[in-house]
Amino acid sequence: MRSDRIRMGLIGCGGISRAHRDGYLALSDQVQVAATCDTQLELAEERRIELEADRAYRDYRDILDRKDIDAVDIMLPHDLHKEVTIAAAQAGKHILCEKPIASDETSAREMIEAANNAGVLLMIAYCERYGNAHQEMKRLVESGAVGDPFLLRIDHSQWVHMPAGHWINDPSKLGGGVVAGSGTHRLDLLRWFGGEVRRVAARFLHTGLTPLGGEDTAVISVEFAGGAIGEMVCTWSAQRAPWYETLMVHGSRGVVHNLDGVKISRNGGDFEGVSLSHDDPYGFREEIRHFLSCVRSGETPLTNGNEALKTLRLVNKVYEAANSECWIEVTNE
């Protein structure tokens, strides 16, 4: 690396790039966004101006050709993650790629292999692991504060109504519906808190309330290899509901939740508020901080390609379970 700041290129400057932009601005002592790219050039130009990058491009290969760029942040529709990640790895760029890694395991493996072969870092942006509530809840659970977890409850409720023709409405680009879109975050968190999943069952609904082509609502049951059980409820058809996400972990000695701030009850006592160690609720800034730190140190990211592959495998088993209406075994080999 040539300068003390890591030089990034942004590929895809749509909705989520605004959240990443705020992370880059907050970490400007460590990172410089050098270039931006979007097939809608006006969006690339918007991010270029905000981040004081020097060029905005329409073709991502122009970013990959630049020798002064160390790493890329890929924020594209899911069906493009593979092509651009492999090209970025071959160009020697470290890669932060939005979730999910891909929609099929073969593509995910090829992406991991390309990064390994090139000796570059691949991190998937499962930002929720880096948010302040989840970080603190994980610390509490790991420290044994609630004993052995036996029940995990997680949900996601949102109104996602994109115009007809948007890629999110097309299951072949999204990889499904709400489960492939936001559910992947929540299933990733279930794995992070509960360990590997042994089997799953799922029921999906397509209400037709939005133009979404895939399922917009899902109820999922999981059994963890360690014996605990869990449930996940998610919908992108929560009309007028505020967007909310919750997690509750019941253990043998207590319960921790984030229904209204992080609260813990130990041994049947009253719920107590827990103070959080940083002020980033959604984790976008902290995931970028982690990525930059891993690029500098060579440390493997928390949400590396193999972790993301395991979450993808679980997501795909959920689809298999919903289609078959059976309990489906999950194996990780």
Q: In terms of CB distance, is 94 or 250 closer to ligand NAD?
A: 94
Query: Least distance in Å: CB of 41 to ligand NAD?
Result: 9
Q: In terms of CB distance, is 38 or 286 closer to ligand NAD?
A: 38
**Residue 10's closest CA among 1, 21, 2?**
21
CA separation, residue 180 to residues 125, 127, 174, 200, 208 (Å)? 14, 15, 7, 16, 17
257 binds ligand NAD (CB under 6 A): no
Q: State the amino acid at position 6 in one-letter form.
A: I
Q: Omega into 100 within 30° of 0, i.e. cis?
A: yes
DSSP bridge pairs for 33: 8
What is the rounded CA–CA span in Å between residue 57 and residue 64? 11
Binding residues for ligand NAD restricted to 268-327, rule: CB under 6 A: none
Would you report the helix, strand and coil content of the chain in percent, each value rounded to 5? 40, 25, 35
Query: Least distance in Å: CB of 57 to ligand NAD?
Result: 9
Query: Least distance in Å: CB of 269 to ligand NAD?
Result: 34
| Binder of ligand NAD out of 5, 14, 26, 150 (CB under 6 A) | 14
| Binder of ligand NAD out of 3, 28, 40, 172 (CB under 6 A) | 40
234 binds ligand NAD (CB under 6 A): no
Q: How many CB atoms lie within 10 A of CB 143?
A: 8
Number of residues that bind ligand NAD (CB under 6 A): 22
Binding residues for ligand NAD restricted to 119-178, rule: CB under 6 A: 125, 127, 167
Query: Least distance in Å: CB of 4 to ligand NAD?
Result: 28
Q: In terms of CB distance, is 82 or 250 closer to ligand NAD?
A: 82
Q: In terms of CB distance, is 12 or 251 closer to ligand NAD?
A: 12
Q: Quote the tokens at residue 169.
A: 């409405």
37 binds ligand NAD (CB under 6 A): yes
Buried b (16+ CB within 10 A) or exposed e, 206-243: eeeebbbbbbbbbbbbbbbeeebebebbbbbbbeeeee
Q: In terms of CB distance, is 127 or 294 closer to ligand NAD?
A: 127
What is the rounded CA–CA span in Å between residue 242 and residue 194? 27
Candidates 36-44, 216-224, 249-257, 267-275: pick the segment binding ligand NAD (CB under 6 A): 36-44
| Alpha-helical regions (H) of the chain | 15-26, 41-51, 60-64, 81-90, 105-118, 132-142, 171-174, 178, 184-194, 284-297, 305-324
Query: Least distance in Å: CB of 1 to ligand NAD?
Result: 25
Note the Cα 74 to chain centre separation in Å.
12
Site string for ligand NAD, 50-89 (x = CB under 6 A): ----------x--------------xxxx-x---------
Give me the residues that bind ligand NAD (CB under 6 A), please: 11-16, 37-40, 43, 60, 75-78, 80, 98-99, 125, 127, 167
